[in-house]
């Protein structure tokens, strides 16, 4: 995610020339690096270092309120820019997390051909789409019942044309994303997160 200095009020008024970039993992948004070029970069980089050390995500930064008329607003601007480039951004995170929690998955394998067959079975009118009620039945048939609110939110976000349904192509991408998601990291595993992030930064620097 990238933000130009003129993306914040202080930059527009005092120092419009500069750049802040957040490097993050696409699968979970964890920040693994920060690049800053411009006024007060030597001061702001410490906050960036803290984000990396804590394993913070761009979603954390997006929902952080920064003091007005400071360059730190650039961190949020860069996080928003990064989020806009993701297929499943901030608004999707809560739904994906709910789905993962409901399923209580542990690296389980799914046969997508079988999943597609179940999808088609419920699609009685051969329209190629399912509404929220039908989608709820689908999850029950594959042994992963979902809360009605979660299914409704899933359809709402995926429904690009506003007809209240979701087609197989869109659903299959979401399904694969859920299966690929890793369980939430506990406090006892924080050191592993830091080590992994540090290794990724080193690899980027050396490449």
192 vs 145: which has the higher pLDDT? 145
Tell me phi and psi for residue 95, to 5 degrees.
Answer: -65, -45
Q: Which of 68, 56, 62 is nearest to 84 (CA)?
A: 62
**pLDDT of 103 over the 80 cut:** no
As a whole number of Å, the CA-based R_g of the chain is: 20
159 vs 76: which has the higher pLDDT? 76
Cβ of 205: how many Cβ atoms within 10 Å?
8
DSSP string, 117-165: HHHHHH-TT--SEEEHHHHHHHHHHTT----HHHHHHHHHHH-TTSSSE
190 vs 45: which has the higher pLDDT? 45
Q: Please tell me the distance from the alpha carbon of residue 181 to that of residue 184, in angstroms, as a whole number.
A: 9
pLDDT band at 42 (very low <50, low <70, confident <90, very high): very high
């Amino acid at each position: 995610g990238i933000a130009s200095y003129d993306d914040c009020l202080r930059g527009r008024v005092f120092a419009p020339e500069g750049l802040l970039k957040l490097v993050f993992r696409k699968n979970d948004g964890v920040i693994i690096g920060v690049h800053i070029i411009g006024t007060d970069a030597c001061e702001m980089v410490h906050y960036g270092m803290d984000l990396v050390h804590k394993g913070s995500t761009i979603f954390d930064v997006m929902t952080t309120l920064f003091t007005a008329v400071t360059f730190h607003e650039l961190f949020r601007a860069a996080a928003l820019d990064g989020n806009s480039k993701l297929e499943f951004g901030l608004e999707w995170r809560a739904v994906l997390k709910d789905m993962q929690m409901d399923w209580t998955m542990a690296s389980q394998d799914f046969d997508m051909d079988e999943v597609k067959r179940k999808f088609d079975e419920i699609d009685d009118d051969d329209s190629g789409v399912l509404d929220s009620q039908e989608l709820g039945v689908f999850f029950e048939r594959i042994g992963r019942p979902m809360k009605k609110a979660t299914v409704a939110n899933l359809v709402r976000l995926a429904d690009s044309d506003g007809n209240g349904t979701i087609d197989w192509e869109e659903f299959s991408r979401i399904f694969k994303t859920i299966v690929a998601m890793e369980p939430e990291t506990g406090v006892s595993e924080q050191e592993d997160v830091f080590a992994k992030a540090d290794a990724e930064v080193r690899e980027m620097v050396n490449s």
